[in-house]
Structure 1
Amino acid sequence: MQTQNVPFTDKQEKLIVALLTLMNFAHILDFVIMMPLGPKLIHAFHIDAPRFGILVSAYAFAAAISGLLGAFVIDRFDRKHALIVLFSGFTIGTLLCAIAWNYWFMLFARIVAGGFGGILGGVVLSIIGDLFPPERRGTPTGVVMSAFSVASVVGIPIGLKAADLFGWQSPFYMIAAICAVIIPFAGRIFPSVKGHHQHASLHWFALMKAIFANGKHWIIFSFLFMVVVGGFSVIPYLPIYLVENAGLASEHLFLVYFIGGCFTFFTSRWIGRLSDRYGKLFVFRLTASLAILPIYALTHLPRSTEVVIFTLTTIFMIVVSGRFVPALALITGNVEGRIRGSFMSVNSSVQQMSSGVATMLGGFLAGSAGEGQPIPHYGHAGYLAIGAILISLYLVRFLAKEQ
């Protein structure tokens, strides 16, 4: 793999990784906060659950489309400039969510936020791939992926409390404010990353051929699809199931994210270090295999005590999110440096599309229920997730040899 041969001090590396993590945190929080805000948005816009589901999916599908379109031009730009422009557009989209006055404007705002935010993940991982050699890539990937944990332990609880006190718009104002602070720091601290330019002058058709004519790339796309389905077919409906089926008090729902996030904030970094030490293939197989147990337990959970619920959801978050650290490190290690930015943009769109498809499939299998009613077939969504994990365990063997 080609990497950017630029010397950095330890302090500079930490600042770069910290900023990438903050950016990842902002756009992850913007996506995940929608699900716990569901009851408030349904009431505010006078919509039903299916129309709320469209709001959630709109971000993912917009991100998928923009990622696919952006794939063929992203490698022609300095990664630093591309990241700042995309992040600025995402900030505007998030602010539009905060000022939305009806359902249709909110839907438009989610499309804008998704269109810019969805590409961010691919650009962030491309920068890691360009600046860090393969043998050191697992650790920064783990740190950046810990943004999901921070969003869970800090972002969601604070966002939900702010929504209770000041209205559903508050979390979006909060995210937009964080983004506005990050942008000028990114402009000063990020290095120019354009060593890939000398190889990025491919015609769009040649670039498309380089990405889609490579059989290994299709294995990567299939692998990522299964990894995402292995989580997102059950994650969006977990809060509803815990409250309506397992008996968790709705006012204690934030503790699921707080406790689980506290653990995964540290375990995602630990998993990254384990990936560097023992190999990404081994660590993925371990975390993916372990994920099957809490998925089955949670999707078949009867009414239970809070101790049981919090224990299972914490284990679920650790291993289900933990799979992504070695998985993404494996993916970046199997892509040529000259097309890495474009490929990771396509890969990001595959990830977003997969989350949208997984959410719809999981909802179809789980079945519909009226307001305040238990989810009838959540276990079926769990079987889908487990099946996807088993397929991912088979596909990962083809990605074992990192370039």
Structure 2
Amino acid sequence: MATRAPDLPRGRTIIHRPSLGLLSLFLATFCIGTTEFVIAGLLPEISRDLTLTIPTAGYLVTAYALGVAVGGPIISMLTSRFPRKPMILLLMGIFVAGHLFGALATNYLMLMTARIVISFSHGSFFGLALVIAASLVSEERRGRAGALVFAGITVANVLGAPGGTAIGNALGWRATFWIIAGIACLAALFMARSLPDDSARHERSNLRDQVRVLGRQMVFTSFLMMGLLTVAVFTTFTYIAPSLIDVTRVAPDMIAWILLGFGVGATVGVFLGGRLADIAPGRTLIAGLLLQSLAFVALFALNRSPLAMVVLLPIWGCVNFMSGQILQARVLKGAAAAPELASTLISSMFNFGIAGGATLGAVTLTSGLGYAQLPLVGAGIAIANTALAIVVTQLDRKALVPPSAAPESA
């Protein structure tokens, strides 16, 4: 339970470890991450229940990603003056309401509306959660507090999405929506009980400075590579469940276990990318994108072998998330002088990429190509991204040569 340290100024509250406040934020981000990623595994169930084609159902992914990407920054700017605790509880309330409405949806329009409502709450939640997490602990523990909040996403990849898919296959996709809503209610209750009402106000950089750093080479090229990376991944991953069923001939009840392998690989990639970003970010980025290209080729060549897909999907997840983690670090390094807007736009750019990938996959399928050809589309994008990474890494080296490296003059 939260306890107040006696000597802290301005009523500062420190939550002793383990912090219920931080754990409540972790649980909330787990719900948000699960609802974003689980939809890929539920597409076959949703398409059958609502009498949709798979490509049409895939636009649920597109709409959600666009809602996060566009709605998040807008809502964050509009609500920045409101107290943090009521605001984050309101966002979680909207998230729950969207799931209840979605679970009761009787047609595609209702479900699409629910997904858009949920995405708007998702889009503005993360930045606010990180600020609150930092206010709960002493300064030297803020990094770990933020890491715990973000860990909700990786755990959602490992457990939430595969678990939600398994529940959807066993009990119907609506059961997954009901359960996510229930866990989110629990997270909101924990936040209401544990988060302080007097969170310290976050000091923001000047808005002009925040916009200005977006024009730095290291920042805007990172966003471009993020977009390309995510488009490449989600052109294939959005339709991974029907691809495994129709092309690889995997039994539907095995999909959740295969996606679990992808999630484990993704989690390893996040931590591996974070570590390598501090050691050799440029070389690691190029290697990661090159490995991603090779993984796409392997997915195409071996997509009729269940054993090969079981092995390849964790490797693919690892190199995808490793590269993404390095690009995030690159953005924050380039925008260090005024990182607030840039850090918010990281989520937006990834979700623009998700929307673009889902749309490109749907267009590819409706053009007459099949699920088996989707990895080739991703491979082409990944190869182009690798070439771009080589160029910008050289630009980084030239731009970051310190003045002390030049010959000294009298």
TM value normalised by structure 2: 0.78
Match of 1:11 among 8, 17, 28: 17
CA–CA separation in structure 1 for the residues paired with 2:63 and 2:75: 18
With over 3 angstroms needed to count, the CA separation of the structure-2 counterparts of 1:33 and 1:378, relative to structure 1, is: same
Residue equivalent to 1:381: 378
Name the stretch that deviates more: 84-93 or 306-315: 84-93
CA–CA separation in structure 1 for the residues paired with 2:353 and 2:344: 14
1:345-360 correspondence runs (5 A): 345-360=344-359
Contact 1:281 1:330 in 2 (8 A): no
Letter in 2 for 1:32: F
Contact 2:103 2:177 in 1 (8 A): yes
Q: Deviations over 1:39-93 (max 9, x none)?
A: 2111211222342122221211222221242243354345554433322222221
Residue equivalent to 1:291: 292
Name the stretch that deviates more: 148-157 or 174-183: 148-157
Residue equivalent to 2:252: 250
1:3-402 correspondence runs (5 A): 11=17, 18-124=23-129, 144-190=149-195, 193-197=199-203, 199=204, 207=207, 210-211=210-211, 214-216=214-216, 217-266=219-268, 268-275=270-277, 278=279, 283-304=284-305, 306-335=306-335, 340=340, 342-365=341-364, 368=367, 375-376=372-373, 378-392=375-389, 394-395=391-392
Give, in angstroms, the shift of residue 186 of structure 1: 2.2
Give, in angstroms, the shift of residue 346 of structure 1: 3.8
CA–CA separation in structure 1 for the residues paired with 2:289 and 2:144: 19
Gaps of 5+ in 2: 1-11, 401-410
CA–CA separation in structure 1 for the residues paired with 2:281 and 2:45: 41
CA–CA separation in structure 2 for the residues paired with 1:220 and 1:327: 6
TM value normalised by structure 1: 0.79
Give, in angstroms, the shift of residue 396 of structure 1: 6.2
Letter in 2 for 1:11: R
Q: Deviations over 1:120-150 (max 9, x none)?
A: 2344456678889999887666655543442
CA–CA separation in structure 1 for the residues paired with 2:243 and 2:31: 26
Q: Size of the alignment, in residue pairs?
A: 384
CA–CA separation in structure 2 for the residues paired with 1:97 and 1:172: 7
With over 3 angstroms needed to count, the CA separation of the structure-2 counterparts of 1:117 and 1:377, relative to structure 1, is: closer
Q: Which has the higher contact order (CA 8 A, sep 6+)?
A: 1
Q: Deviations over 1:226-275 (max 9, x none)?
A: 33224223221233333322333333211211223345445534543454
Contact 2:25 2:187 in 1 (8 A): no
Contact 1:227 1:388 in 2 (8 A): yes
Letter in 2 for 1:379: L
Residue equivalent to 2:3: none
CA–CA separation in structure 1 for the residues paired with 2:298 and 2:330: 29
Letter in 1 for 2:353: S
Contact 1:220 1:399 in 2 (8 A): no
Give, in angstroms, the shift of residue 308 of structure 1: 1.7
SS state of the match for residue 251, structure 1? helix
With over 3 angstroms needed to count, the CA separation of the structure-2 counterparts of 1:360 and 1:30, relative to structure 1, is: same
Contact 2:328 2:346 in 1 (8 A): no
Give, in angstroms, the shift of residue 315 of structure 1: 0.6
Name the stretch that deviates more: 51-60 or 321-330: 321-330
Letter in 2 for 1:257: L
CA–CA separation in structure 2 for the residues paired with 1:399 and 1:127: 33
CA–CA separation in structure 2 for the residues paired with 1:228 and 1:156: 18
Residue equivalent to 1:3: none
CA–CA separation in structure 2 for the residues paired with 1:286 and 1:167: 41
With over 3 angstroms needed to count, the CA separation of the structure-2 counterparts of 1:129 and 1:312, relative to structure 1, is: farther
SS state of the match for residue 234, structure 1? helix
Q: Percent identity?
A: 23
SS state of the match for residue 238, structure 2? helix
Gaps of 5+ in 1: 1-5
CA–CA separation in structure 2 for the residues paired with 1:129 and 1:320: 28
Name the stretch that deviates more: 97-106 or 383-392: 383-392
Name the stretch that deviates more: 45-54 or 182-191: 182-191
With over 3 angstroms needed to count, the CA separation of the structure-2 counterparts of 1:93 and 1:333, relative to structure 1, is: farther
Letter in 2 for 1:258: L
CA–CA separation in structure 2 for the residues paired with 1:396 and 1:78: 41
CA–CA separation in structure 1 for the residues paired with 2:367 and 2:45: 19
CA–CA separation in structure 2 for the residues paired with 1:290 and 1:133: 40
With over 3 angstroms needed to count, the CA separation of the structure-2 counterparts of 1:316 and 1:355, relative to structure 1, is: same
With over 3 angstroms needed to count, the CA separation of the structure-2 counterparts of 1:238 and 1:390, relative to structure 1, is: farther
